[in-house]
């Protein structure tokens, strides 16, 4: 039996080009620093971002509980594989690449909201400062449609401004109540009672936690309806005016998810609007994920030793009931595990799955360009926005696609939608009317609205580079394609830009409407595609945030632990419920552990 397994490993290794080479060890021997007892479980986590680092932390809390129960001989041996840097899509850089002079700026995930309880509690428990600078003092927020600013001053927020009332009537109020209902539904995740209470005469929880499908999670939280329809129809169906959806809600979905309200689902729309109490970790959100890893005591494999290239299943390993999983890296190292948690979007993980029928479906991600720059222009050029030179321009600009959409529809109606008419020679026999109408259409097309970016924000005033330097501002722009130097010139004037940094991301999944029904959990990837193999990013197409990554990882770890140590280990037994906890209670009760009061 063992010989068969070893041969299969070598064969798998060969196919994954990880055979030992001079100076390298066989994969089995390569990475075993600890020697877990026979009762230990050994878990590999692929990815050190929000999902992977929090998974490691939740797993380490199982070790704490085992110790507390006097079962220290059982252990959880945690290995995290990271090919790039801890934090994943939470990554910072420094203006002018100068960390001595400048504070870091987020290239990816920058904020979490007050409803993001795990992030807030982690930051508090780990003593991490949450006062990262999110925008320049006094910046005015406006919404640009490619032709004009439809709203000039949103600085009071999405719904509190009186100006909004004049334009949209009660829609802001209705939207706030819809978003509050979504928040309330989501917040059930942090109520130990809601999560853990049992069904009568059953071992199962009423909530269904831990959920084996994302569809079940979404149904249980009653988020399925919002996830099943596009944001436009969903908010409209709730009594929000079309104008408010097209302008305000779309501005939020475009800055948060690079998607318009007719393609993103209603839940994505709601999450985009739920950023109250926004905060970020000073120095970078990645610090929080680093801290989770440190506190988890996980063994971290980095660079080519951390780049997983293959995962192979071994059924009935050494007569055990459960399969084992071999994880191999680009360095030719690897290890054998009882469970593997894939904590990265599958489409660009570059991992070959072998010896299993499991398929992890590939989701389409929004490809986003982030441009960071330092400029001494105190606002973008007025001319770019069709204003006379010298006029003021807002410094926090969101966008709505509505004017572009309408112009496209009009062109289609008018028959200019690529039918070749533009190139057609003008016949002298054509009437002056048709010529005039064509000229009018051409002129309209020339003026047709265009959107070069999804959002543009002045983030901070930068300290001067030299005593005589003029004041510089740090600006962040999100756009669907690369912003060329010509475009930056039109926006600020190249001579006024001192530093530019461009980054491309597969930022978040396309949050298109998805079904949550059915045994298979609807249109989401399986949480456990094969026994002992978990996919943490299965939840991302429902909501993609740092917080929900920690929620998803907690659920997957709960599934794993309930299999290994029983459901009671995870959700407790004979619990007496405390009422809704405040933050101090959290600290006392060990909210992040396993058992009655954890959630």
Ligand X SMILES: Cc1cc2nc3c(=O)[nH]c(=O)nc-3n(C[C@H](O)[C@H](O)[C@H](O)COP(=O)(O)OP(=O)(O)OC[C@H]3O[C@@H](n4cnc5c(N)ncnc54)[C@H](O)[C@@H]3O)c2cc1C
Residue choice 221, 267, 360, 370 for contact with ligand X (CB under 6 A): 370
Whole-number Å distance between alpha carbons of 325 and 311: 7
> Would you say 50 or 571 has its CB closer to ligand X?
50
Q: How far is the CB of 363 from ligand X (least distance, A)?
A: 12
Residues 94-133 binding ligand X (CB under 6 A) are: 108-112
Residue 82 engages ligand X in binding (rule: CB under 6 A): yes
Among 158, 186, 508, 564, binds ligand X (CB under 6 A): 508
CA dist., res. 567 & res. 220, Å (int): 18
351 or 460: CB nearest ligand X: 351
Site size with ligand X, rule: CB under 6 A: 38
Only segment of 64-72, 80-88, 434-442, 583-591 that touches ligand X (CB under 6 A): 80-88
Q: Which is nearer to ligand X, 317 or 365 (CB)?
A: 365
Which of 89, 196, 313, 554: binder of ligand X (CB under 6 A)? Answer: 89
Least distance from ligand X to the Cβ atom of residue 227, Å: 16
Which residues sit opposite 371 in a β-bridge? 477, 502
Binding test (CB under 6 A) with ligand X, winner from 5, 13, 44, 90: 90
Q: Return the number of the residue (79 or 379) whose C-beta is nearest ligand X.
A: 79
Pairs from 423-427 (Cβ < 8 Å, separation ≥ 24): none
DSSP type of residue 12: H
Residue 88 touches ligand X, criterion: CB under 6 A: yes
Nearest approach in angstroms of CB 119 to ligand X is: 8
Closest to ligand X by CB, 16 vs 488, is 16
Among 9, 12, 42, 51, indicate the residue that binds ligand X (CB under 6 A): 51
Angle between helix axes 117-125 and 546-565 (nearest 10 degrees) is 90
CA distance 249 to 234: 12
CB under 8 Å to 545, separation ≥6 — which residues? Answer: 109, 112, 116, 271
d(CA 397, CA 205): 46
CB-wise, 47 or 572, nearer to ligand X? 47
- How far apart CA 435 and CA 432 sit, in angstroms, is 5
SS3 of 46-82: the string is ECCCHHHHHHHHHHHHHHHHHHHCCCCCCCEEEEEEE
Among 9, 16, 18, 50, binds ligand X (CB under 6 A): 50
Question: Is position 46 an interface residue for ligand X (rule: CB under 6 A)?
Answer: yes
SS3 content of the chain, % helix, strand, coil (to 5): 35, 20, 45
Best CA proximity match to 474, nearest among 33, 16, 101: 101
Binding flag, residue 596, ligand X (CB under 6 A): no
CB of 118 to ligand X, least distance (A): 11
Pick the closer one to ligand X by CB: 482 or 588: 482
Distance of closest approach, residue 139 Cβ to ligand X, in angstroms:
17
* CB 111, min distance to ligand X, A: 4
Looking at 16, 44, 48, 488, which residue binds ligand X (CB under 6 A)? 48
Beta carbon of residue 503, minimum distance to ligand X (angstroms, whole number): 8
Residue among 175, 344, 375, 457 that touches ligand X (CB under 6 A): 344
User: What does the radius of gyration of the chain's CA atoms come to, in whole angstroms?
Assistant: 27
Question: Which burial class, exposed, middle or buried, applies to 354 when counting CB atoms under 10 A from its CB (0-12, 13-18, 19+)?
Answer: middle
What is the x/- site pattern for ligand X, positions 278-307, by CB under 6 A?
A: ----------------------------xx
Residue 83 in the binding site for ligand X (CB under 6 A): yes
CB closer to ligand X, 46 vs 228: 46
Is the Cβ–Cβ distance between 454 and 479 less than 8 Å?
A: yes
- Decide the pairing of beta strands 141-144 and 396-399: parallel
Residue of 397, 351, 320 lying closest to 537 (CA atoms) = 351
Site residues for ligand X, 509-548, by CB under 6 A, read 537, 544-547
**45: β partners:** 80, 341
Strand order in the sheet with 308-314: 334-337, 324-329, 308-314, 352-354
Q: Given the rule CB under 6 A, which residues bind ligand X?
A: 46-52, 81-84, 88-90, 108-112, 306-308, 343-344, 349-351, 368, 370, 505, 507-508, 537, 544-547, 549
């Amino acid at each position: 039996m063992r010989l068969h397994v070893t041969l299969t490993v070598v064969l798998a290794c060969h196919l994954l080009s990880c055979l030992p080479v001079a100076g390298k060890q066989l994969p089995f021997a390569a990475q075993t620093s600890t020697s877990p007892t026979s009762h230990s479980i050994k878990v590999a986590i692929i990815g050190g971002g929000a999902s992977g680092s929090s998974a490691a932390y939740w797993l380490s809390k199982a070790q704490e509980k085992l110790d507390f129960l006097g079962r220290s001989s059982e252990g959880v041996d945690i290995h995290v594989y990271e090919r790039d840097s801890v934090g994943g899509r939470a990554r910072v850089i420094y203006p002018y690449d100068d960390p001595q002079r400048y504070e870091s700026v987020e290239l990816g995930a920058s904020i979490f909201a007050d409803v993001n309880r795990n992030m807030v509690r982690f930051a508090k428990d780990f003593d991490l400062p949450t006062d990262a600078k999110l925008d320049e003092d006094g910046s005015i927020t406006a919404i640009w449609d490619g032709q004009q600013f439809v709203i000039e001053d949103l600085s009071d927020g999405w719904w509190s401004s009186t100006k909004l009332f004049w334009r949209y009537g009660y829609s802001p109020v209705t939207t706030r109540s819809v978003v509050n209902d979504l928040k309330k539904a989501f917040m059930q995740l942090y109520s130990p009672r809601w999560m853990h209470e049992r069904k009568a005469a059953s071992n199962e929880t009423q909530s269904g936690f831990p959920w084996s499908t994302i569809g079940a999670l979404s149904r249980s939280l009653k988020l399925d309806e919002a996830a099943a329809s596009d944001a436009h129809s969903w908010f409209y169906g709730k009594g929000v005016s079309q104008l408010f959806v097209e302008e305000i809600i779309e501005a939020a979905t475009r800055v948060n998810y690079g998607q318009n309200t007719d393609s993103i689902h209603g839940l994505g729309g709601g999450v985009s609007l739920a950023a109250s109490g926004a905060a970020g970790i000073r120095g970078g959100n990645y610090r929080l994920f680093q801290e989770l890893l440190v506190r988890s005591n996980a063994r971290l494999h980095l660079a080519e030793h951390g780049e997983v290239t293959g995962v192979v299943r071994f059924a009935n390993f050494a007569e055990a009931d459960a399969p084992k999983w071999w994880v191999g890296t680009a360095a030719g190292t690897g290890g054998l595990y009882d469970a593997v948690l894939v904590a990265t979007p599958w489409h660009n993980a570059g991992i070959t799955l072998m010896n299993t029928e499991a398929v992890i479906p590939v989701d389409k991600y929004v490809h986003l360009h982030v441009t960071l720059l330092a400029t001494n222009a105190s606002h973008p050029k007025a001319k770019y926005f069709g204003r006379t030179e010298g006029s003021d321009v807002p410094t926090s600009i969101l966008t709505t696609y509505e004017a572009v959409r309408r112009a496209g529809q009009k062109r289609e109606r008018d028959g200019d939608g690529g039918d070749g008419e533009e190139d057609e020679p003008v016949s002298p026999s054509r009437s002056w009317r048709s010529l005039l109408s064509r000229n009018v259409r051409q002129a309209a097309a020339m003026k047709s609205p265009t959107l070069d970016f999804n959002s543009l924000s002045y983030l901070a005033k930068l300290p001067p580079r030299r005593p005589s330097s003029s004041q510089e501002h740090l600006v962040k722009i999100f756009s669907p394609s690369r912003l060329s130097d010509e475009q930056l010139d039109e926006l600020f004037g190249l001579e006024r830009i001192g530093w530019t940094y461009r980054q491309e991301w597969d930022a978040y999944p396309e949050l298109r409407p998805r079904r949550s029904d059915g045994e298979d959990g609807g249109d989401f990837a399986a949480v456990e595609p094969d026994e002992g193999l978990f996919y943490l990013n299965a939840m991302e197409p429902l909501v993609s945030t740092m917080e929900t990554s920690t929620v998803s990882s907690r659920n997957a770890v709960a599934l794993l632990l309930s299999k290994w140590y029983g459901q009671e280990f995870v959700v407790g037994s004979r619990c007496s419920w405390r009422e809704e906890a405040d933050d101090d209670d959290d600290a006392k009760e060990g909210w992040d552990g396993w058992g009655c009061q954890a959630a």
